[in-house]
């Protein structure tokens, strides 16, 4: 039986798609016909002109493809895919009526399927191919109206034109971040923002600015508190946060109990994990907290800390705790604590000398000399000389070539010479101090103007491996050479420069106030002090207030000595101008002004009225409550108290001299006043005040009257002091008194 259906696939008839033989009705190039198992309907047929054999079809198709690739964008035929359906364009239709033959692909005859090659990618841009029988020829493409391809065709074209997909490796999965570990960084942001406006807030002291500062500090403390209470921190991180938390509480708040609790828990945590560096740092803060409440308990606790570090042979912290004990002992004001502090400083010097830490020896000796200057006693001069001799022994040591340390040595040496020596010995030391300061400003790059701390190197021992780190940078730092660096807070570069100008003006005022050199240095230093108000400072509000207070005090002292210079030259107009500026400076300081500053202003005002002839007004000021003499048996507890006593004695002496200018002099009252002044004048540690008292005894008339022999003795003693101290003004007063009392020789 013969086959009655349409010509099948593989019987010499190629598959043709489309109902009318149109080229655009065929599937896109590269598309695959549906699989035989998925095909549910027969493929549509196409119009053909006749039957050709399979061999002719393959030959014509190969020639057409070769001709196409010569004109296409490919240099050579790309990789072809086998067993794909053939797409071709039949020859143009003839005038006769076309006949339609529907052909179907017989899936049961795969052996007759043509093997054709087509490019793996198709962009739809090449020309159409045509076949003519019997020989294939390349025909020009016909212009046919564009038809909108179906959605399936567009999807296939888009898929064939897309670049190959390259699968990127997945990024590694990061462990989840604990939000509690980010809270310390957030707290530091708040602390930094508050400290940036600390100086501006301290200068304005506006209520809103202070509240804003306190809110930022409180927010930062809240972040640290949440992190501490989370219980999800590593032990060292928790210890660091507790240290920072207590430090901020100590610096910016008055909540000492909360800070002490945090430090106690932190010390316990450090002892469990052997964090010696953090433990010692916490103990330093704890001692400061205890000193604010009970100085005696703090000093006793420091003795225990010193024993512990000595047992572990942690030498760097031995220095830290001993220096802390010495400074707290000097601040307590009690004589027993002061003597203990001096002994502690000398033990530090001895230990450091044995270990070769010469910078520590130098700073300990300088603090010893400063303490002796601060609290003068019978043996203070010898102590100062011994300490300065130790400093001079290491002045050429490279380890001691630290500009702040050298500047402190020159300042202490010059100040001691001003107090206990004549101007002949003081001027060379003043010249050495000026040269050192000028060289330091010109050459030193390490001495930064924005920092007040100097670094002193310490040689490490066997047990000093883990006693300092970046977490102890407020006390100990790790140097670049592997040694520990002790941080000592002193003065900034500009502050040292201002202080040197003040000392220079004071010393030149003692030498001579007529040449104007003293006033020149004082004015330069005053201008530098006023310019310091515009310098930026980043720190806590209490620290900024302390700096403003110190600069205000140094400004007041400049005005004090400028008034003295103008009084010495009887320039009363300048005296009045400086007194007015002095009053403004006192008002700017507000409640932070020291009582001694106010007392100095009253004393200078009385001198101004005395010099301009308003004796009654001057006498009222000299007799004010500010200059009441205390009980002679009471011992001065501080240098400020001693200065206030000296001013009261001078005010009483000036009052006694003014009383001699009246029409009627009360001789008995003069004798009573001299008897009151005798304990303060005859045995005064200030030799110049003693010389003034001797001049009073020689010049003031009393009942009973002073004999001529006694007057000679008083004048001779005053002249000896004036000559030794090179006090030109005192010498002039003595000479005038000798001229008044003719026949009295100075001997």
Segment 291-312, tens digit of pLDDT = 998 999 999 999 999 999 999 9
Segment 575-584, tens digit of pLDDT = 999 999 999 9
DSSP 3-state percent helix, strand, coil across the chain (nearest 5): 60, 5, 35
3-state SS, residue 80? strand
Tokens of 674: 């001299």
What average pLDDT score do residues 68-83 get? 48
Q: According to the model, what pLDDT value does residue 516 have?
A: 86
d(CA 449, CA 492): 6
d(CA 395, CA 154): 92
d(CA 437, CA 407): 7
Report residue 78's pLDDT band, with 50, 70 and 90 as the boundaries: very low
Report residue 685's pLDDT band, with 50, 70 and 90 as the boundaries: confident
d(CA 352, CA 374): 24
Q: According to the model, what pLDDT value does residue 220 have?
A: 96
Segment 693-728, tens digit of pLDDT = 999 998 888 888 888 888 888 999 999 988 887 777
Tokens of 375: 């609290």
d(CA 486, CA 175): 40
DSSP 38-55: T--SPPP-EE-S----HH
Task: Report whether pLDDT(490) > 50.
Answer: yes
Q: According to the model, what pLDDT value does residue 48 have?
A: 44
Q: Which residue has the tokens 């003034």?
A: 692
d(CA 730, CA 728): 5
Torsion of CA 249, 250, 253, 259, to 10 degrees: 50
User: How buried is 63 (Cβ within 10 angstroms: 0-12 exposed, 13-18 middle, 19+ buried)?
Assistant: middle
User: How buried is 449 (Cβ within 10 angstroms: 0-12 exposed, 13-18 middle, 19+ buried)?
Assistant: middle
Q: What b/e string do you get for 126-162 counting C-beta neighbours within 10 Å, with b at 16 or more?
A: bebbbbeeeebeebeeeeeeeeeeeeebeebbeebee
The H-assigned helical ranges of 315-443 are 315-332, 335-355, 358-374, 380-393, 403-420, 423-443
d(CA 677, CA 693): 8
User: 179: part of which helix (H) or strand (E)?
Assistant: none
3-state SS, residue 458? strand
CB atoms within 10 A of CB 223: 22
Lowest-confidence range among 117-131, 228-242, 638-652, 680-694? 117-131
Segment 86-145, tens digit of pLDDT = 444 555 555 544 444 444 445 555 554 555 444 444 444 434 434 344 444 444 445 445
Instruction: Return the sign of the alpha-carbon dihedral for residues 321, 351, 359, 316.
Output: negative
d(CA 615, CA 658): 7
Task: Report whether pLDDT(30) > 90.
Answer: no
d(CA 410, CA 432): 8
Q: According to the model, what pLDDT value does residue 41 have?
A: 43
d(CA 35, CA 83): 12
What average pLDDT score do residues 462-484 get? 81
Residue of higher predicted confidence among 30 and 492: 492
Q: Residue 447, CB half-sphere, CA atoms under 13 Å: how many? A: 23
Q: According to the model, what pLDDT value does residue 222 have?
A: 95
Q: According to the model, what pLDDT value does residue 169 have?
A: 77
Q: Which residue has the tokens 């971040």?
A: 177
Q: According to the model, what pLDDT value does residue 92 have?
A: 56
pTM: 0.73
Residue of higher predicted confidence among 370 and 98: 370
Q: According to the model, what pLDDT value does residue 627 have?
A: 93
Q: For the chain, give the percent of residues with pLDDT over 90.
A: 40
Q: According to the model, what pLDDT value does residue 421 have?
A: 66
Q: According to the model, what pLDDT value does residue 101 have?
A: 42
Backbone angles phi, psi at 617, to 5 degrees: -65, -40
CB 89 within 8 A of CB 154: no
pLDDT, mean over the chain: 79
Lowest-confidence range among 30-39, 263-272, 533-542? 30-39
Report residue 225's pLDDT band, with 50, 70 and 90 as the boundaries: very high
User: 713: part of which helix (H) or strand (E)?
Assistant: helix 708-725
Segment 3-14, tens digit of pLDDT = 455 554 444 444
Q: Residue 526, CB half-sphere, CA atoms under 13 Å: how many? A: 20
What DSSP state is assigned to residue 108? T
Q: According to the model, what pLDDT value does residue 443 have?
A: 64
**Shortest CA distance to 732 belongs to which of 743, 741, 723, 744?**
723
Task: Report whether pLDDT(285) > 70.
Answer: yes
């Amino acid at each position: 039986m013969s086959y009655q259906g349409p010509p099948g696939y593989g019987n010499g008839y190629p598959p043709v798609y489309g109902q009318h033989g149109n080229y655009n009705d065929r599937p896109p190039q590269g598309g695959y016909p549906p699989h035989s198992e998925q095909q549910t309907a027969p493929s549509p047929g196409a119009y053909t002109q006749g039957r050709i054999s399979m061999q002719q079809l393959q030959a014509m198709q190969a020639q057409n493809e070769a001709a196409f690739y010569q004109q296409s964008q490919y240099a050579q035929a790309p990789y072809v895919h086998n067993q794909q359906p053939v797409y071709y364009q039949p020859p143009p239709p003839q005038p006769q009526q076309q006949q339609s033959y529907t052909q179907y692909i017989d899936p049961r005859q795969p052996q007759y399927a043509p093997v054709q090659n087509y490019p793996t990618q198709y962009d739809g841009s090449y020309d159409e191919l045509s076949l003519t029988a019997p020989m294939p020829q390349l025909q020009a493409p016909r212009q046919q109206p564009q038809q909108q391809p179906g959605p399936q065709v567009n999807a296939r074209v888009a898929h064939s034109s897309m670049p190959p997909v390259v699968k990127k490796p997945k990024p590694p999965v990061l462990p989840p971040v604990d939000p509690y570990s980010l809270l310390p960084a957030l707290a530091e942001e708040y602390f930094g923002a508050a400290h940036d406006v600390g100086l501006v807030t301290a200068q304005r002291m506006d209520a809103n600015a202070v509240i804003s500062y306190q809110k930022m500090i409180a927010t930062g403390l809240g972040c640290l508190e949440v992190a501490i209470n989370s219980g999800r921190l590593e032990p060292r991180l928790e210890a660091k946060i507790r240290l920072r938390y207590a430090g901020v509480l100590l610096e910016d708040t008055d909540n000492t109990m909360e800070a002490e609790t945090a430090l106690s828990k932190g010390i316990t945590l450090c002892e469990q994990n052997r964090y010696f560096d953090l433990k010692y740092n916490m103990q330093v803060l704890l001692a400061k907290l205890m000193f604010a409440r009970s100085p005696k308990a703090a000093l006793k606790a420091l003795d225990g800390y010193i024993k512990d570090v000595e047992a572990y042979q942690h030498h760097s912290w031995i220095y830290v705790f001993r220096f802390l004990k010495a400074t707290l002992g000097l601040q307590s004001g009690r004589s027993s604590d002061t003597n203990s502090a001096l002994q502690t400083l000398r033990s530090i010097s001895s230990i450091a000398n044995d270990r070769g830490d010469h910078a520590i020896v130098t700073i300990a000796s300088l603090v010893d000399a400063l303490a002796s200057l601060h609290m003068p006693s019978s043996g203070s001069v010898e102590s100062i000389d011994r300490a300065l001799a130790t400093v001079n022994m290491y002045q050429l040591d490279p380890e001691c070539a630290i500009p702040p340390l050298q500047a402190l040595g020159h300042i202490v040496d010059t100040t001691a010479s001003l107090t206990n020596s004549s101007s002949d010995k003081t001027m060379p030391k003043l010249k050495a101090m000026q040269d050192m300061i000028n060289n330091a400003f010109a050459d030193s790059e390490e001495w930064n103007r924005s920092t007040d701390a100097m670094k002193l190197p310490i040689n490490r021992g066997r047990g000093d491996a883990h006693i300092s780190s970046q977490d102890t940078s407020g006390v100990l730092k790790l140097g670049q050479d592997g040694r520990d660096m002790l941080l000592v807070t002193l003065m900034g570069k500009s502050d040292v420069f201002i202080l040197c100008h003040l000392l220079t003006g004071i010393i030149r005022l003692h030498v001579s106030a007529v040449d104007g050199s003293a006033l020149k240095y004082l004015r330069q230093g005053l201008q530098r002090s006023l310019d310091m108000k515009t310098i930026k400072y980043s720190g806590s509000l209490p620290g900024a207030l302390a700096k403003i207070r110190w600069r205000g005090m140094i400004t007041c002292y400049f005005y004090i000595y400028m008034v003295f210079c103008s009084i010495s030259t009887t320039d009363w107009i300048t005296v009045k101008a400086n007194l007015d500026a002095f009053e403004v400076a006192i008002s700017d300081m507000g409640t932070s002004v020291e009582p001694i500053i106010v007392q100095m202003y009253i004393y200078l005002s009385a001198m101004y009225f005395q010099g301009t002839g308003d004796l009654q007004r001057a006498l009222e000021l000299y007799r004010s409550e500010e200059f009441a003499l205390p009980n002679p048996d009471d011992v001065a507890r501080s240098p400020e108290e001693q200065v206030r006593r000296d001013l009261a004695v001078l005010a009483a002496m000036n009052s006694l001299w003014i009383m001699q200018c009246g029409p009627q002099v009360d001789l008995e009252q003069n004798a009573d006043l001299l008897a009151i002044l005798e304990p303060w004048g005859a045995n005064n540690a200030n030799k110049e005040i003693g010389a003034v008292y001797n001049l009073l005894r020689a010049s003031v008339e009393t009942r009973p009257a002073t004999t001529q022999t006694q007057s000679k003795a008083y004048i001779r003693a005053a002249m000896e002091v004036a000559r030794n101290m090179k006090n030109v003004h005192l010498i002039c007063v003595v000479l005038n008194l000798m001229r008044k009392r003719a026949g009295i020789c100075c001997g």
